[in-house]
Chains A and B, each alone.
Chain A
Amino acid sequence: MKCSLTAQEGFDLLKLSGEVDLNYSPRLREQILASLKEGHALLIDLADVSYIDSSGIASLVEGFQTAKTAKLAYGLLNVSVTAGQVLTLTRLDKIFALYDSAEQFRQQL
């Protein structure tokens, strides 16, 4: 898994690519929580994620809860077909705020 964090106008964009599994999800979790700790809204781009397992999803969930408590905006961008199926299976597709573009997210802020 590769992740890169870029500061955008009013929020952080965390772009993930590759496979997010048991080995990498702790890193993902750290990145998400670190970003939220700074008080930034967070948009996570999943377009290039070829595989995400329950541990990856759990990190996303924990991030969401942390963001909610801190009243920060939090969303997922470009959920791929694979990631989408996992979200449906875990019944989380209705929980997360899903976006098709960064612009859409910025407008929500």
Chain B
Amino acid sequence: MADTNDSNNSNNSPGNHSSGNGNAIEIRDLVVDYGPRRILNNLNLDIPAGKINVIMGRSGAGKSTLLRCILGLKKPTSGSIRMLGTELTTATPHEVNSLRKQMGVAFQGGALFSSMTVGENIQLALREHTNLDESTIRIMTRIKLDMVNMLPFENLMPSELSGGMTKRAALARATIMDPKLLFFDEPSSGLDPITAAELDELILLLKQGMNMTIVVVTHELESAFKIADKISIMHGGEFLVMGGPDDIRACQDPIVQSLLHRTPRESRVDTDAHLRALVNGEIEPGASGNIE
């Protein structure tokens, strides 16, 4: 009888999600430069299988770039990303495609295909990659729609959906093939608190029901602490701290504390420099402000 956590199983078996040591994704010394600017600075991260991993940080910390590298949409300047046992940076297109069939992505804006209905959006992967019967495809689509409470909206076009509905449709689309890896880019952004909470519940259910490895990129504190098994906080292209929610809460790093308690950083008080900035537009290098 196959034991789902048996690390000797082949990586293609549906129950097994790890690369042998319990990690679905391993990132080592990841560097991304945009010309002279270093966006990601020697990142190291383990994403344990079957757990909800939250990557947090202020806007501009590099979260989106990191996500794009993991998804294979951006080639890093250097470093390694090992996903489900395959080295992404040196993988052949065929291997990358194979990996992609085992992952689902819910993009920040939903990224639903505007020329297809919600139902057609959700089933696209099934139509392209499987030979399943028409009736099976339809039932699977509706099961996913029901899961996100969107069953009556199968035939709407994406332009007719509200923000919350778009996110839910995107989630249904991301999970249609029951992927081992699920990625969320800012799932709660732009949602009212109730819908955001419902989405959080759904993410928890997905982990329990389908044993998915879930990676959530967000800056919403409440959601993060509610759902995460592991939280990694980024700042300036580096990881400040990683651990369970309790470890993070206990962390004394001032940047982490200001993030958690939503206190703005102290700004340097140099009156002359400030005056020059206001009147002449002269900004000192290293002045406080978002790192873009």
Q: Which A residues are CB-close (under 8 A) to B143?
A: 54, 57-58, 61, 90, 92
Chain A, 26-64, CB within 8 A of any chain B CB: 26, 29, 48, 50-51, 53-55, 57-59, 61-62
Interface residue count on the A side (C-beta < 8 Å):
26
Residue from A26, A48, A51 in contact with B132 in the complex, judged by beta carbons closer than 8 Å: A26
Given A22-B132, A90-B143 in contact, is the A50-B209 Cβ separation under 8 Å? Answer: no
**Chain A contact residues: over half helix, strand or loop, or mixed?**
helix
Interchain pairs with CB closer than 8 A, number: 73
B1 near A50 with CB under 8 A, answer: yes
B255 at interface by CB-CB < 8 Å: no
A58 near B140 with CB under 8 A, answer: yes
B222 at interface by CB-CB < 8 Å: no
B140 near A86 with CB under 8 A, answer: no
Size category of the binding interface on chain B:
20 to 34
Q: Whose C-beta in chain A lies nearest to the C-beta of B205?
A: A89
Scoring B residues 166 to 194 as 1 if CB is less than 8 Å from chain A, else 0, what string do you get? 00000000001110000000000000000
Q: Which B residues are CB-close (under 8 A) to A21?
A: 14, 178
Q: Which B residues are CB-close (under 8 A) to A59?
A: 136
A25 near B136 with CB under 8 A, answer: yes
A88 at interface by CB-CB < 8 Å: yes
Q: Whose C-beta in chain A lies nearest to the C-beta of B146?
A: A91
B133 at interface by CB-CB < 8 Å: yes
Tell me the minimal C-beta distance from B18 to chain A in angstroms: 15
Q: Whose C-beta in chain B lies nearest to the C-beta of A22?
A: B130
A53 near B178 with CB under 8 A, answer: yes
Residue from B2, B132, B140, B210 in contact with A89 in the complex, judged by beta carbons closer than 8 Å: B210
B178 near A85 with CB under 8 A, answer: no
